[in-house]
Chain A
Amino acid sequence: MSATINTSLAAGRRLPNLWDAAALLCVFGALIAVTHIARGTMIPIDAPGATEVSLDPWHLPEYAVRTTMRMFAALVCSLIFTFIYAAAAAKSRRAGLVLIPILDVLQSVPILGFLTFTVVFFMNLFPGQVLGLELAAIFAIFTSQAWNMAFSLYQSLKTVPADLMEASLSFHQTGWQRFWRLEVPFATPGLVWNTMMSMSGGWFFVVASEAVSVGDNTWKLPGIGSYVAMALEQKDIAAVVYAIIAMLAVILAYDQLLFRPLVAWSSKFRFETTAGATASDPWVLRLMRRTRLLQLVGDGFGDAAARLGGLRLSLPLPLRPRATAARRPSRVVDGIWLAVLVGVLGWAGYKVVGFAAIELRWSDLGEAVLLGLITLLRVVVLMILASLLWVPIGVWLGLRPVWARRAQPVAQFLAAFPANLLFPPFVLFIVYFHLSPDIWLTPLMVLGTQWYILFNVIAGAAAFPGDLREAASNFRIGGWLWWRKVILPGIFTYYITGAITASGGSWNAAIVAEVASWGDTKLVAHGLGAYIAEATDKGDMARVVLGVAVMSCFVVLFNRLLWRPMYAYAQRRLTL
């Protein structure tokens, strides 16, 4: 890695090369695009063109850039949130006591249901300006990205190897230095991976959040999502296809330009002491390392970051003894803290009960739970079907290295693709053949999430030890026995990882997938997702809250009762 840098330094070429010219062009292009879009956000909401969307495909590049900018704005917010929230939760025991369960619940709440209200909130912050709408969209994306990133950082901070921690302490690094020199680097690979996952999840939300109707008003922020919404209203299938193509291009671009290099770079921070087989650098990273100008800029950033991280800032933190006997946490402060928490909880509970008593009856809860059970049935059936389909395929691909290498990026790419863009063809199909929405809208829920199962299974099969395969064939183990005793246990951990993500995503997708429209035709399936979506349309806040709360409970229970035990079992017994 460092060898390439050093040789180019030694070569002593100081003159910019052709790559520099290309790079310069890209940088300036990006800058201009950003300023253009930034100007667009400050104009009043009723100015001509501010919230209008044209179906002309020539507008698509601009829309794509605007949508992407929203994504990245949200990503930056998520990163800032992650660093503050996770650091607070990891460093302070008392804060962690509260912050981590909150995060756990937030992860399971389908924020999509609250979209309407966040829009109203942000529009009231900036009345009459597009900025309010923009912020609402960005917030919606943020809520789909931040939680798992924060979790990842928190978990890394909690599992910093003890010997490195001791080394850092014994060399008198300050808290600030330790954070940037030890803890953040240690957390980087996980954080980068989760950021990539978040980005994929975010597309789903960006498409849903660009066209928002509150009561009678409908606003459309220029972007791919609103373009598709418009196309659906006007029954323009060609426009839908254009949008899908534009989306493919955007995802391909940021995947190649940003995430591949980032993942390759972050492998440097992976905590392993043996040199493993390393994949070749992606082309962008090579470009950056070979381009004189980009390299200088990169080195400059790196240098500044190193200086900043090396600053001897510190809170006068006392030495943390490992022996609990030496300094036990103060009971009194704990007691006060607990009392405050109980107070806040009590107040919140009082408010919730009061709110629910006015607006809702017990029958509403019954209805929501019943619909939740229907959606649960959908999720379960879909998970089974998707597993039956993708596990054999994934195993087949994973055991053939050449195929695995080709299929893996495709599956990851498909997982990143916002599945709601693909809904229109399905809706057309259902309308044309007069099929039952209750059954045929269901597959939409896994359209985007099934790929997590596929690429995790591929990864698992590819990592399956060669000697076990050889042993299996040596003992002539074949057929069903091979699946039962050899490969399924071998990939189980990977499969569970994928299935957890897929099932979580499916619940979220239900809000969008159980209601679909094509022009004036509206297809509605019975389920909790449709319940939330319809309540949102009517502006019925109480039922939205109820629906979202019930769905959150379902998701949390589903995770606790099914996935966590299975994951724990897999970790314990089936990890190779």
Chain B
Amino acid sequence: MDIAVATRPCLMEVQACRQAYHKDASADLVVLDGVNLTLHEGEIVALLGRSGSGKSTLLRIVSGLLRPTAGTVLWRGVPIQGPTEGVAMVFQSFALFPWLTVQENVELGLEARGVPRAERENLGEAAIDLIGLGGFESAYPKELSGGMRQRVGLARALVVHPELLLMDEPFSALDVLTAETLRTDLIDLWMDGKLPVKSILMVTHNIEEAVLMCDRILVFSSNPGRVASEMIVPFPHPRNRLDPAFRQMVDDIYAVMTRRSVPEPRAAAAAPASPLALPLQRVGTNLMSGLMETLAAAPYNGRADLPALAASLQYEVDELLPLGETLQLLGFAVLEEGDIHLKDAGRQFVDADTDERKRLFATALRAHVPLINMIRQVLDERWNHRASAVRFRDELEDHMSPDYAEDTLRTAVSWGRYAELFSYDEEAEQFSLEDIG
């Protein structure tokens, strides 16, 4: 199949794409670096990665909504300038116009092209029927369920008969069952050749979804976003999630996604500057305790296979990996080859009572999170034991984007509060040692 696809005409080509957000003074913040991507007719391709890996950015570059800082995007061999005619997009949030009916929403792209009204209506109705929305033409989006709304989003994209359909996490805002129905409906239409598209490019963070739907998967790594690995999915449709080969592929992808983040110290990409260049992921302390307790107990007894763990906890890889990585950062657990296993510090934590846990957590924070250690040190040194959050944020922003800096600081605040290392006044944006025993 892959050979057949490769010989087909090439639709879209992205070469040496780089996307960086300019930051004053310090270095640019690189979101995507050296990304190459070729899309052929007749294939469904997934961009799989964690949030923040730049895959949505790449989708926007492909759609022409965003111009890359460097690199070229070719549509049928011609560099694109702005949104391309032959490309239509489906949004994670549906992006329906709440004041337009289903029919009007679907006709939007046609109207923008100046298609006469009668033809617009015919095409609109055809798309609505195709996607299973017949009878809902005059409904407003707010009257519809999430699944129905995303069907409108699909019909709206399909009605313009795009050659390439882009989907930005199209099913992630839907519940499990609804998402599954939509996926299979879409694949059925695709297999029957009823979709008026030549190729589909979708962004997802759901590994099973990618393996279920796509012919090719590009796994992204974060910081900066790069294609870490490319895989061909060899299974014919309809695919069976329980098929051992299917499971194996999911396992493999988990392994790829965890492997990337383990050995490389993050500072490697940036200058080997301050230890503050460590973005913290917003993971709650309750989640951490919960995961450690789950790992310590049967049936895992300290070691778990990530896909199995994710499935039993009903977590997506996007939720589980940050959690695992944070435990690894704090020295409570280790991730390797798609597995997670609890270290002694983790077991100690699980066995401890509340106060002891806080002490253990505080020790781990001071040992492994330079930012928190620094905050505490500054507070200890000051005569009034107070320090403004602004200086820490400024320092963080020298090493990461303002959003990451904000997230990192908030996470530090919440961890530090739990560990009773410091208290924080939100109103004054000030750290202090008040109420700290």
Contacts and interface: CB of A to CB of B under 8 A. Distances in A.
A275 B91 contact: no
Nearest to B166: A170
Q: How large is the interface on B (under 10, 10 to 19, 20 to 34, 35 or more residues)?
A: 35 or more
Nearest to A173: B112
A505 B81 CA distance: 51
Interface stretch (B97-105, B179-187, B225-233, B378-386): B97-105
A177 to B, nearest CB: 6
Contact of A169 (B65, B100, B114): B65
A323 interface: yes
B22 to A, nearest CB: 4
B95 interface: yes
A275 B149 CA distance: 13
B69 interface: yes
Contact of A181 (B67, B91, B97, B114): B97
Contacts of A480: none
B21 A325 contact: yes
A573 interface: yes
Contacts of B88: 170-171
Contacts of B140: 1-2, 268
B8 to A, nearest CB: 25
B91 A319 contact: no
A314 to B, nearest CB: 10
Contacts of A327: 67
A6 B81 contact: no
B327 to A, nearest CB: 33
Given A319-B82, A325-B20, A171 B160 contact: yes
B237 interface: no
Contacts of A92: none
A573 B28 contact: no
A57 interface: no
Contact of B427 (A2, A164, A573): A573
A323 B18 CA distance: 12
B66 interface: yes
B67 A271 contact: no
Interface string A156-200: 000001011011011111100100011001001000000000000
Nearest to B63: A170
B239 interface: no
Contact of B112 (A171, A268, A274, A573): A171
B85 interface: yes
B334 interface: no
Contacts of A321: 66-67
Contact of A319 (B21, B67, B100, B427): B67
Contacts of A2: 101, 138, 140
Nearest to A327: B67
B295 to A, nearest CB: 36
B142 interface: yes
Contacts of A323: 19-22, 66-67, 69
B34 interface: no
Interface in B111-150: 111-114, 138, 140-143, 149
A177 B98 contact: no
Majority DSSP secondary structure for residues of A touching B: loop
B94 to A, nearest CB: 8
Given A170-B83, A319-B83, A177 B95 contact: no
Given A312-B114, A325-B20, A181 B108 contact: yes
Contacts of B427: 573
A124 B414 CA distance: 68
A310 interface: yes
Q: Which of A164, A167, A177 has its CB near the most chain B CB atoms (within 10 A)? A: A167
Interface string A247-276: 000000000000000000000111111110
Q: How large is the interface on A (under 10, 10 to 19, 20 to 34, 35 or more residues)?
A: 35 or more
Contacts of A3: 138
Contacts of B89: 166-167, 170
Contacts of A181: 97, 100, 108
Interface string B71-110: 0000000000111010111011111011111000000110
B83 A172 contact: yes
B64 interface: yes
Contact of B95 (A166, A185, A573): A166
Contacts of A274: 142
A22 to B, nearest CB: 29
A324 interface: yes
A326 interface: yes
B140 to A, nearest CB: 7
Contacts of A6: 138
Contacts of B82: 318-319
A173 B112 CA distance: 5
Contacts of B108: 167, 171, 173, 181
Given A272-B142, A573-B427, A171 B66 contact: no
A312 B112 contact: yes
B112 A185 contact: no
A104 to B, nearest CB: 26
A167 B99 contact: no
A185 B101 CA distance: 13
Interface string A54-87: 0000000000000000000000000000000000
Interface in A297-351: 310, 312, 318-319, 321-328
Given A172-B85, A319-B82, A275 B98 contact: no
Given A169-B83, A323-B21, 5 more contacts: A163-B93, A170-B64, A170-B88, A172-B85, A273-B149
The 7 closest A-B CB pairs, nearest first, are A325-B22, A319-B82, A171-B109, A163-B95, A167-B95, A173-B112, A321-B67
Interface of B: 19-22, 28, 60, 63-69, 81-83, 85, 87-89, 91-95, 97-101, 108-109, 111-114, 138, 140-143, 149, 156, 160, 427
10 contacts: A161-B95, A164-B95, A171-B88, A171-B156, A269-B98, A269-B99, A272-B98, A273-B141, A310-B111, A323-B19
